[in-house]
Structures are given as structure tokens and as C-alpha cells.
A and B are shown apart, each in its own frame.
Chain A
Amino acid sequence: MFFMTIRDEEKRLKVEELYYAYRNLMYKVAYEILNDHHLAEDAISESFIRIIKNLHKIDETKSNKTRNFLVIICRNVSIDIYNSKIKIEECDYPEEDVEDKKIQNPADIVVSKESIERLSIAISKLDNKYKDVFILNRVYDIKTEDIAMMLGISYDNVRKRLQRAKEGILCEYRKGEGK
């Protein structure tokens, strides 16, 4: 029993490993947005507070998937801090864009390797605010309410962003088809 306790104590926590592995990268991401050393540090610590609650979503410490997850969280926390510092309102997104992007016939998409490749390109072209929620939801299997908590935005906002991301991807896909 005693030795087990010691082993547990010595074992570095997953969150600690993540911090030491990615703090420089996260700092870079945060600093690019905030342009302030202390605020970037704040963004890192706030990101980890949010990451801890979703630690079970992370399997390996050193993987692209994990690195991207941390970057998404850190980027959004930094934007949140940036907005709160300069009193920018949480933006509502123009409805007309959405109307334009609505796809008329989803049956146009053919199930093929090429389609997946084209859809993935369409995803990468999305604005970060839509791409991040979409990736968190689809790749990391995080529920809408958890994304809202994680990114500090409302449930409805996440739902809208997901919907608009999907519409944006399908619209981009169709554009490519026309070429």
C-alpha cells in the first residue's frame, strides 16, 4: 500500500506532461493574439483549467491530435481574453452569409476517398471560430454544452457555429465541384 502511494506521487500527472510538452507552443499561439507576455501566461493557465475537465479526451501526450486540441483551446481562450480586454462584443454572425451558403441538394456528395479529401480541404478553409467548434465536436467527440463551457460561449452560439460550419463546408465543396 505504501509503495503504491509513493509510485503514484512520483508519477507525473498527464496534465503536467502536457504543460511541459506544449507550453512554448501555446505561449506562441496566445502571444500572437494578445501581444502581451502576462496575458499570454494567463491564457495558458486558463486553458489548462479548461483542459483538466476534458482530460479523458486525450489519449497520448505526444500526438498531432493532442497538440491540435491544446492549440484550439488556447487560441479560443486568448481570443476571449483579448475581447474582454478591449470590450468587443461577442459577435453575432450575419444571417445573409448563411443563406447564401445553404446547400440545396446534399445528395450531390458522392461517398469516395476523393470526396473526403475535398471536404477536409473545405474544413481547413473555414474561419477558425467555425472550424474550432466543428473539430472539437467531430474529432474529439465533445458535446455542444461542453464546448460552450470550454470556449466560454453560449450553448446557442456553439450550436449556430456548428450549423454554419457544416453549411460552409458543403458550400465550399459544391464550389469546387463547379470548377
Chain B
Amino acid sequence: MSNDALNQVIDMLLTEAAEVANENESFEVAEDDVEFSEKHEEKMKKLFKKEKRKNSFKKTLKNYRFFVCLLLLVGMIVCAVNYCVKRQYDPERKIVDEDKIGIKENSVIVKHENSTLGNLCFEYIPEGFRIVSQWTAEESAEVEIEDGNVKILYCKVPIEENQAVDAENGEMVTINGLKGTIVKNVDSNVLMWQDDKYLNTITSSSDNGSVIAGEEIIKIAENIRNVITDKSEVYTIDNICFKYIPDGYKVIEESISDRGVIKSVYVIFHDGTTEVSYYKVSIRVKTTIFTENAEITNITVNGKERVLIKKEQATTLVWHDDEYRYNLSSSGQNGPISEEEFIKIAENIENI
């Protein structure tokens, strides 16, 4: 029997043995009910709610995919006809839906490629706050911003015919020329305003009752707008902008774990065969990189020194600053991405 065939048989035996070992593993089932804290239960409920929402959206999309496609097709035809008609009557008209010029510094862009809402740009976010989650559907979006204590939730949904806003205790405000209402309560502040198609709301709340001031909420609202971004740019969680990502690569996973002193961020791109992953972790967490049979070189990226570790099946670039360790790696069925592309990606990572 050849060595390969032997290894295959051993692998098969090991898999079978692993199943037997796992089946024989016994853990004492804890009989006593543990008293979990309210905060924990709330956190878990929120997690399930988010999962339920994701599931129901997926299910709806699956059940009605035919109608969705049909609607999209009709929508596209209507838009195309509308566009052609407008062009015909006003040939000088320049189509300026949104502009990229003038995005303020420190803006945070929430990219919604599959949504009719386009990319939302938050040009003002109060100090200490950051976007922690974003969710988007065909015509609606939710963006959650928090500073670890106070939560700010922005929602944008289409206006329904019979929708009414209870603004009895509200105070009238103007958001970029649009009429809105702000309702101030002890434990929450809610701002609502609508344009011709959508109802926008910003809610500020927290577990301990502290909220941000109404004026701040209004300032956030006044500084939300739609922008166009370069197609090659990808904005991900933790406000990271990948200004260059080769064609065909898509984000397949992004995750953030923030336990106060320990924070880690993962972003993984894939094109079907090759993976490019970006990992950032607090400096106090030590990481290990195996360098057996690796070619290690010091290179300069954007004027800063970094270490390039090249192996047959993977390329890794590591560097650090005072706060974090960074790791950019590529691997895949046919080996890593080319070094030239790899370095180009590294040169174009920015925290915005």
C-alpha cells in the first residue's frame, strides 16, 4: 500500500475514533439553576433578537425572492424610463445625486451596497462614540452608535400610508429644512423627521438612564447624508477603510470584540479561492507566528517599518503601534495573493 493510501486509511480511522471519543465524553449536567444577572439576560435577549431579525429577513427574502426580483426589475425599468424622459426634456441637466467632494474629516461612512439608500455618511458623531453595528435591507437601515454606556440608534424606514407619529409631548425642530419632532423623556430622547419617502428616527437611551442631549441628537441628524464612494474602497467595522481591494474580493466576515482593555477586530476578504485577512488586537495580547521555513524580511510600507513573512502557502505582514498589533495575511488553495497586490492592500488600509 502506498504511503498516501496508508495515510488516508489512518485518517479515516482517526475520524471514526474521534467520533467514538466524543460520544464517550461525559460532562456532568448541572442540575442547579444559576442566577444570571439582568444585564447578562438582557444581552442574550438582544443577541437572539438580532438573530431572529436576520433569520426572518432571510426567510422573507427566500420566500418572496420571485416577487422581489420582479419588483426590482419593474423598478429598474421605471427608473430607466424616468431617466430617459428627463434627459430628453432637459439635455443640459447634470445628474448630481450625491457628491464625494467635501466629505468632512472624521466622517464615518456606512456602506450599503445592496440598499437603495446608498451609502450613509455620518459627518458628526459625538466624541467617544463609535458605530458598533449596522443592518440594512432593501429600503431600510439601522445604525447603532455607542460609547460603552449610552446608545444611539438611527433608523431609516419607508413611510407607510397609515403611519402616524405621536408627538404630543414633542417639540418641533427643523432638520436641514425638514420638519421634525423631538420628544425628551427622563430615560430617552427621540428625534423623528421625515422626507418625501422615509421616516428617520434617532433614539438615545442607556441601561442606567443617561442619554445624550437633544441638541447633540439634532446635530447628528443634520450631519447624515448620502455619498458616493470609490468602488474600490471598502468600509468595514471599527471604521476601517480598505482603500484598495483587488477585483473579485468581498468581505465574508467582520467581527469586533471589545472587552474594555482587550479589543480585537477581524476582517476577512475572499475571492472564492484566496483569502486576505486583517487582524488587529490590543498590544497587551501576545500573538504567535510560526516562522519555520519562512523567508522573513523587513520592509517599509508608507514610511513605516513592517515585517514580511513569506511561506509557500501564506504571506503575512505584521506591525504594531502603541495600542495595537496588526496582522495582514493571505493564503488560499493556490497559495497567497501576489506580493505586489498584498503590499498594495497594506499600503491602503486606513482608520477613518
Contacts and interface: CB of A to CB of B under 8 A. Distances in A.
Contacts of A67: 27
A95 to B, nearest CB: 9
Interface stretch (B70-78, B102-110, B225-233, B286-294): B286-294
Interface residues of A, number: 66
A13 B47 CA distance: 11
A160 interface: yes
A99 interface: no
A68 B22 contact: yes
Contacts of B331: 155
Interface stretch (B32-40, B176-184, B296-304, B341-349): B32-40
B59 A41 contact: no
B1 to A, nearest CB: 7
Interface residues of B, number: 58
A134 B290 contact: no
Residue with the highest number of chain A CB atoms closer than 10 Å, among B15, B33, B329: B15
A149 B27 CA distance: 25
Nearest to B16: A116
Contact of A116 (B17, B257, B275): B17
B289 to A, nearest CB: 7
A16 B55 CA distance: 13
Given A13-B48, A65-B22, A119-B17, 6 more contacts: A5-B56, A24-B30, A68-B22, A81-B259, A119-B13, A154-B289
Interface of B: 1, 6-7, 9-10, 13-34, 36-37, 40, 43-44, 47-48, 51-52, 55-56, 59, 63, 253, 255, 257, 259, 262, 264, 266, 275, 284-290, 314, 329, 331
Interface of A: 4-5, 8-9, 13, 15-16, 19, 23-25, 27-29, 37-38, 41-42, 44-46, 48-49, 52-53, 64-65, 67-68, 71, 81, 84, 87, 89-92, 106-107, 109, 111, 115-117, 119-124, 131, 134-135, 138-139, 145, 149, 152, 154-157, 160, 166, 169-170
